[in-house]
């Protein structure tokens, strides 16, 4: 059984990151994607916030066929904005909101009709910005809080609270919030670090009662990403590959603060990131890329970690979930996640 193999491999547990990873296995610069096993143009397009049509155009592809190891240019293909469809929206209302046309949005997303669904991510053509003629109505979705919503729209929590006459930071799923927009904000055209996680998780059936722990790690090396670590874990006999459920990049081999979703989360599988069988069975593993014995995580990594934990805690884990770190689970066996891990951040989730 997998947990027996994992338990016997003592060298694994000091920290995943102590494994040396050959430089030839690393992905290229952030504007180039190396096609891995299971990749399709649609998967890659979703990861980089672009469309299949844009990827095919920038790479001069005549079909959707790609091969493992193929290098694809992703810079220049991304749309400026990523919009998540909420209840009551249509392509025409979204087009008016961003000052663009229905046809432009359809072309950017390779849509064959005007039909869209709640939760769908739409790429908004470059150069489009939300209209400054009036406020935006945001419908609160699972995992969102005022801080995240403020970040998405380039606003402030205090401004949103004042506009909506909120006396506290408490909001509920389905609640409509008025977002004041006095000028075309540049930040609105970006997407939250959490956006791909929300989109992926909305397609899953998550048994929240199963997940009792969220365990934070560091990789203890500066190189690597989910794909690289997953290959290393497979070579070491872990049949489900990547030991973690999520990996947060440092800007070297994945985006700074980019949350990569591992197959263990997509398939709702047990973890392989600690010695404890109990915690592996019911614990979600999050790995921050980098050696936090030597330095702090980047600002975006820290932001991504906090957003991710908040999202998971709000409906996808037990209400009394234990948010902890590797060394507190495997006591006297590891220093992971390192001296410079922001331990105080976890207090808010207690």
CATH classification of the domain holding 51:
3.10.350.10
Asked if the model's pLDDT at residue 186 lies above 70, the reply is no
Residue 269 sits in the same domain as residue 316: yes
Report the pLDDT value the prediction gives residue 301, as an integer from 0 to 100: 92
Compute φ and ψ for 261, nearest 5 degrees: -95, 120
Task: Answer yes or no: is 162 within a domain.
Answer: no
N- to C-terminal Cα distance for the chain? 33
Least confident of 23-32, 274-283, 296-305: 23-32
Report the pLDDT value the prediction gives residue 152, as an integer from 0 to 100: 63
Task: Output the six-digit token pair for 30.
Answer: 């952030």
Q: What is the pTM of this model?
A: 0.52
Q: Which 3 state secondary structure label does DSSP give 180?
A: coil
Task: Output the six-digit token pair for 93.
Answer: 């209302």
Task: Answer yes or no: is 292 within a domain.
Answer: yes
Pairing of strands 121-124, 136-139: unpaired
Calpha distance 287→45 (Å, rounded): 24
Residue 115 sits in the same domain as residue 62: no
Calpha distance 339→295 (Å, rounded): 8
Residue 233 sits in the same domain as residue 332: yes
Residue 107 neighbours by CB distance under 10 Å: 15
Task: Answer yes or no: is 119 within a domain.
Answer: yes
Calpha distance 188→33 (Å, rounded): 26
Task: Answer yes or no: is 201 within a domain.
Answer: no
Residues 283-326 pLDDT 10s:
999 999 999 999 999 988 998 998 899 888 877 899 899 999 99
Residue 244 sits in the same domain as residue 334: yes
Asked if the model's pLDDT at residue 133 lies above 80, the reply is no
**Count: domains in the chain:** 3
Whether 244 and 217 have beta carbons less than 8 Å apart is answered as yes
Calpha distance 329→2 (Å, rounded): 19
Residues 136-157 pLDDT 10s:
777 776 667 787 777 666 677 8
Asked if the model's pLDDT at residue 343 lies above 90, the reply is yes
Residues 67-123 pLDDT 10s:
888 888 765 444 446 677 777 777 877 776 666 677 778 877 888 888 888 878 787
Q: How many CA atoms lie within 13 A of 63 on its CB side?
A: 3
Residue 330 sits in the same domain as residue 273: yes
Q: Which 3 state secondary structure label does DSSP give 210?
A: coil
Could you tell me the residue range of the domain that residue 271 belongs to?
2-21+206-349
Residue 101 neighbours by CB distance under 10 Å: 15
Cβ-proximal residues to 252 (8 Å cutoff; 6+ apart), any chain: 222, 223, 289
Q: How many CA atoms lie within 13 A of 198 on its CB side?
A: 25
Report the pLDDT value the prediction gives residue 222, as an integer from 0 to 100: 94
Residue 298 sits in the same domain as residue 320: yes
Residue 121 sits in the same domain as residue 236: no
């Amino acid at each position: 059984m997998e947990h027996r193999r994992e338990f016997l491999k003592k060298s694994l547990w000091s920290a995943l990151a102590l494994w040396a990873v050959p430089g030839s296995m690393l992905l290229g610069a952030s504007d180039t994607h190396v096609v891995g096993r299971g990749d399709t143009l649609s998967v890659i397009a979703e990861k980089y916030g672009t469309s299949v049509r844009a990827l095919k155009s920038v790479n001069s592809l005549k079909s959707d066929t790609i091969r493992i190891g193929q290098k694809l240019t992703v810079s220049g293909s991304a749309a400026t904005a990523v919009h998540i469809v909420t209840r009551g929206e249509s392509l025409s209302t979204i087009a008016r909101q961003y000052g663009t046309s229905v046809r432009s949005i359809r072309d950017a997303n390779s849509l064959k009709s005007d039909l869209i669904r709640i939760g769908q991510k739409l790429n908004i053509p470059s150069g489009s910005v939300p209209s400054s003629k009036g406020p935006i109505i945001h419908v609160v979705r699972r995992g969102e809080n005022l801080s995240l919503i403020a970040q998405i729209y380039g606003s402030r929590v205090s401004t949103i609270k004042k506009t909506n006459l909120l006396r506290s930071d408490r909001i509920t799923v389905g609640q409509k919030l008025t977002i004041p927009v006095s000028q075309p904000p540049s930040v609105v055209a970006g997407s939250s670090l959490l956006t791909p996680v929300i989109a992926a998780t909305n397609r899953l059936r998550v048994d929240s009662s199963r997940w009792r722990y969220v365990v934070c790690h560091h990789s203890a090396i500066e190189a690597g990403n989910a794909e690289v670590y997953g290959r290393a874990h497979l070579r070491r006999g872990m049949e489900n590959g990547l030991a973690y459920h999520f990996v947060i990049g440092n800007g070297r081999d994945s985006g700074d603060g980019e949350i990569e979703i591992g197959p263990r989360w997509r398939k709702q599988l047990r973890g392989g990131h600690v010695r404890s069988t109990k915690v592996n069975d019911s614990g979600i593993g999050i790995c921050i890329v980098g050696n936090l014995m030597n330095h702090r995580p980047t600002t975006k990594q820290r932001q991504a970690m906090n957003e991710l934990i908040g999202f998971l805690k709000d409906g996808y884990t037990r209400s009394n979930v234990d948010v902890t770190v590797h060394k507190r689970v495997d006591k006297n066996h590891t220093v992971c996640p390192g001296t410079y891990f922001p331990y105080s951040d976890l207090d808010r989730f207690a």
